[in-house]
Each structure stands twice: as structure tokens, then as C-alpha cells.
Structure 1
């Protein structure tokens, strides 16, 4: 039987099928990625609330629970705008500095030197990932 070249309709149908399979795989991967990001960010909030540390925002010190409430509001805003697709984005856009003054947030924990909150959150994220 001689070789028959597939028709354009067959080629188009095959291309559409391959595209939809790839898109479905990407959607599943994206969904898993969103779940991972959400789990990591929630673990950061939990670590914050259990830390016993104080957090400085624009020169004023706040308890960990007050800082958590503030960062939860910022995170909600970022979620609405799709600006925190990763835990690193959350840290950079919400947990590192004031959105109003651009001053870095600080953390002081009992028996430890004061440091920028970005460093603190990155260390907590590393612990979370290492535990998984």
C-alpha cells in the first residue's frame, strides 16, 4: 500500500490534540505549583506567629501576631493582583519592606541579633523546604 500524505484536516486535528494535552499538563503543573506556593506561604505565617520575635515597620516595633495580620492583608492584595506566584515573590513584595516608604522591615528575636525580615523569611522558607 503506497504512503498517503495526511490531509490538512488530519494534521490540524493532530496538532490540536497535542496542544490540548500539553495545555492540560501545564494546567495540572500550575495547579500543583499554586498549592505548593500556598502551603509554603502559610508555613511562613505559622512560623511568624510562633516565633516570639518582634517586627519593625517604619520605625515601630510590633508583635509577631500584629506583623502576621499586617502581612496577611498585604498577601491578600497580592493574591487579587496575581503578584505572588511564588513564596519568594511574597517575601520580596510583601514581607521585606514597607510599600509606602520602601523602608526594610526588621526582625529581632530573643537572644539573636536584629536582621532584615527578608533574611528571616528566606531562612524560614529554606527550613520549610528542607522539612518536605
Structure 2
């Protein structure tokens, strides 16, 4: 192989490697705590669950809101040790939707009504939180309201 052909192949390979690194850096998120607004929304959601009086079903066993909050906080800490959550919906998806052991969905049941998937219940609560704060329609517009409706 001629020197110019070798140099050209080397430069092309280097260019591809640099592009791959750049793309990887934009996709990969470092571990750490979520942004303050996201943290406030997550805390508000977990406080709502804790004080709702609703039951929380995980792997076929019913737990109180206090126990549900404790479990989800443990999952949150685990997730944050590996990545930074970009929004509250990501928390719901990764930590509050299903058991990471069995894959079974979590269920929230309030009163005598039917249970609903925890993701549905939490998303409704998140929409309520965002609607309760001035100008709040997404997780970037300011701190979430901390009051239960």
C-alpha cells in the first residue's frame, strides 16, 4: 500500500472514530441528580402518592403510599447513580411504571374505584401539578407546586 493511500485510509478511519465519539457524547448522559425543577416535580409526585390514601400494588402485594414513596425513592437513587434524568416523565417511565425484577406493572388504587397503572395515575398528577403553577406546562418552566389539590 502506498504511503498516500495509507494516510488517506488512516485519516478516514480517524474521522469516523471522531464522529462516533461526538455522537456518543451527545447521547450519553452522566450520572447525577436531575435538574432542580425535575427534582421538585418528582418530590411533589411522591408526596402526593404518600398522602393520597391510595394503595400501591407491586408484584401482587398492596402497599401504603408511604411504602410506595420509599420504594420509588430507592429506585430514583439507583437510577441517578447511573444517569441524570432529563424530565419527570423519564422518572415515571424508568422508576414508577413497573417492577424492574418481574416486569409487572405497578397499580394505584384509590378508594373503591378500580386500580389504574401507576404511570397513568402519576402522569395525571404531573399534569395537575403543572397546571397549578403559573405558566407551567413543562418541566423547564419553574418549580412545581408542592400542594396536593
Which TM-score tier does this pair reach, normalised by the shorter chain?
Answer: 0.7 to 0.9
| Alpha-carbon distance between aligned partners in 2 of 1:121 and 1:44, rounded to the nearest angstrom | 7
CA drift at 1:111: 3.6
Change (3 A) 1:77 1:39: same
Structure 1 partner of 2:55:
54
Gap runs ≥5 in structure 1: 1-32
Structure 2 partner of 1:44:
45
Moved over 2 A (4+): none
CA drift at 1:101: 0.8
Higher-helix-fraction structure: 1
Which has the bigger relative contact order, CA under 8 A and spacing at least 6?
2
What's the TM-score once normalised by structure 1's chain length? 0.72
Q: Aligned runs of 1:7-86 on 2, under 5 Å?
A: 34-86=35-87
Contact 1:83-1:89 within 8 A present in 2 as well:
no
CA drift at 1:83: 4.8
| Alpha-carbon distance between aligned partners in 1 of 2:96 and 2:115, rounded to the nearest angstrom | 16
Structure 2 partner of 1:114:
115
| Alpha-carbon distance between aligned partners in 2 of 1:35 and 1:119, rounded to the nearest angstrom | 23
Q: Any idea what SS the aligned residue of 2:62 has?
A: strand
| Alpha-carbon distance between aligned partners in 1 of 2:116 and 2:62, rounded to the nearest angstrom | 13
| Alpha-carbon distance between aligned partners in 2 of 1:129 and 1:98, rounded to the nearest angstrom | 27
What's the TM-score once normalised by structure 2's chain length? 0.64
Contact 1:58-1:98 within 8 A present in 2 as well:
yes
Q: Bigger radius of gyration, 1 or 2? A: 1
